[in-house]
Structure 1
Amino acid sequence: MNVSVIVPTRNYGRFLADAVKSILGQSLPAMEVIVVDDASDDNTVEVARGFGDKIRYVRLDVRGGAAAARNTGLKLAVGEVVCFLDSDDIWLPGALEILVGGLEAHPEAAGASARIVNVPDSAMDEALACPASLVERAFQCWGAGGLLLRRNSFEKVGFFDEGTSIAELVAWVSLARDQGLEFATFQELVVLRRVHGANSVLTMPTLAPGYMHLIRQHMERQRAAASREPQS
């Protein structure tokens, strides 16, 4: 199973190397690693180019947001399955092997989801040294890093909504489920999500209305589907 790993990034040059190294160090190698730079103005380009031909680096000249960066990577990807790893997060060794093995065991599934854990930036080295100590705090991942998706599922659901400013992966999974796609879930911990001062999803309470909008969209799709069902 050929895997394309897409790394969207913006102004995370200080974290990017750790993310890419965790991909390149997997026991099951990815077919390609695509780093999509969303018009960064820090040292992201220098960090990315430091990996040479081990990765494909693409820069967007105009900032488009995370969804646009993910869609850019999708259009370039050639693997039969794709996974997104955010540039401030880290895959544990064996993560890709776990995700691919899970998807192969469920050929009917559009994707496979494992588990993620939040780790303070200052504790990353300790977490990497002893990830087993974090298992009890892990939770199911419907976002980047812990979700592997079949490339052809995007032909049915479409790409990410570039009008969505947050949780575009969660919104996509919700839409996919409403369209009948299935996802296999697994208990293994595969990704460490770095918690730092710039995590918009974790540190900005103003994003709550955006999540409510996603919930409303999901409920509206469910009501619309129910109204189309024949009445007994």
Structure 2
Amino acid sequence: MRPEVSVIIPTYKRYELLKRAIDSVLTQTFDDFEVLVVDGARSKSIRELVRSFEDRRLRYIPQTGTGIANARNLGVLKARGNFIAFLDDDDRWREDKLELQIKAFNELPKDYGLVYTAFTYYYLDRNKIIGVKRPKASGDVYRHLLKDNITGTSTIMVRRECFKRAGLFREDFVTCEDWDMWLRMAKICRFGAIDEPLVDYTIHSGQFSFAKYLTGRYRMIEAHGDIRHNPKVLSYHLLQIGILKLFSGDKSGAKDLLRAFGLNPTMRGNISEILSSIFDVRTKIYIFKFLGRL
């Protein structure tokens, strides 16, 4: 029988963290789901870990391609559920996450195709929560996603049918492939939001590559005309990029800042977003990583 929810967990050589992620799914108060563990390393240890749970809802899928986007796409194509939820192998869910999202879908109009939640930033090395990211918008969120990735992939549940209209994750994105996906999804459906933090997004060493992030950020600008051809939106992106570059010690960030102010000298329409972005916990985490404090 078709499960209500398919949970997709891409993984690559993170045995202990993957075990924690799977545990957080199997202890959910809502239990009508399947779990697809897509293994990028195609390792015997991960295959045996999945089998060790002795739970028929778990499916081990060796990844034939490469990259996180390819892994998620493989999961989407093999999913049997009416809804699809994503969980990165280093994150974990609170026990009522699926239950509350299914409840939200049942209460929302049918044009709502995606529900996301608040999440905590969990610092693994010190076993502590260092911040909370709450939903910024619901309903028609397209204009918000043009400037920022307001979601977290491990928080998301989406109607499977939405992928037929929006397409799959773009595999030519090095990073920001999730942001690109949700921006395209926002064109075809409305988003619901749950203000309660139901996911621990894990911060740990070896996780962050600033160079790859920049590549993905520039790719977002290139791929979306509504960013590239809108001076206010483009200036916002370039301002963020410039600031992050300078904090990382890359002096070329000054050129991005100059271009940003050249496009929008007064930063009209961006002031409140810029201020909130500067003080956002995610920006602080990026800066702390650059400074070697995380």
Report what 2:176 is aligned to.
Answer: 167
Tell me the residue number matched to 1:150: 159
1:205 corresponds in structure 2 to 210
Distance 1:30 1:8 in 2: 20
Picking from 89, 103, 106, the partner of 1:104 is 106
For the 8 Å contact 1:113–1:185, the answer to whether it is kept is yes
Per-residue CA deviations over 1:123-147 (Å, capped at 9, x if unaligned) read 44x66xxxxxx7x623336232211
Distance in 1 between the 2:9 and 2:20 partners?
12
1: CA distance, partners of 2:174 / 2:98:
27
Report how far residue 49 of structure 1 moved: 2.3
In the TM superposition, what is the alpha-carbon distance from 1:89 to its structure 2 partner?
Answer: 0.5
Structure 1 residues 204 and 42 mapped into 2: Cα distance closer, same or farther (>3 Å)?
A: farther
Deviation at 1:171, TM superposition (A): 0.8
**Match of 1:218?**
224
Relative distance call for 1:41 and 1:197 in structure 2 (3 A) is: farther
Number of the residue aligned with 2:123: 120
Cα distance 1:219–1:9, how it changes in 2: closer, same or farther (>3 A)?
same
CA RMSD of superposed structures (Å) = 2.3
Q: How many aligned residue pairs are there?
A: 211
**1:78 aligned to 77, 80, 86, which one?**
80
> Residue 56 of structure 1: CA displacement?
0.5
CA distance in 2, matches of 1:155, 1:57: 24
1:37, distance to aligned residue in structure 2 (A): 0.3
Query: Residue 5 of structure 1 contacts residue 30 of structure 1 at CA under 8 Å; is this kept in 2?
Result: no
Name structure 1 gaps, 5 residues minimum.
128-133, 225-232
* Partner Cα separation in structure 2 for residue 41 and residue 58 of structure 1: 11
Identity among equivalent pairs (%): 25
2:132 aligned residue:
137
Decide which structure has the larger Cα Rg and report it: 2
Does structure 1 retain, via aligned residues, the 8 Å contact 2:221–2:228?
Answer: no
**How far does the alpha carbon of each residue in 1:54-89 deviate from its partner, in whole angstroms, 9 at most, with x for none?**
4101112x4511111111111111111000101110
Taking the aligned partners of 2:123 and 2:42, their CA distance within structure 1 comes to 23
**Residue 36 of structure 1 contacts residue 58 of structure 1 at CA under 8 Å; is this kept in 2?**
yes
Q: Which has the higher contact order (CA 8 A, sep 6+)?
A: 1
User: Which AA in structure 2 matches 1:152?
Assistant: E
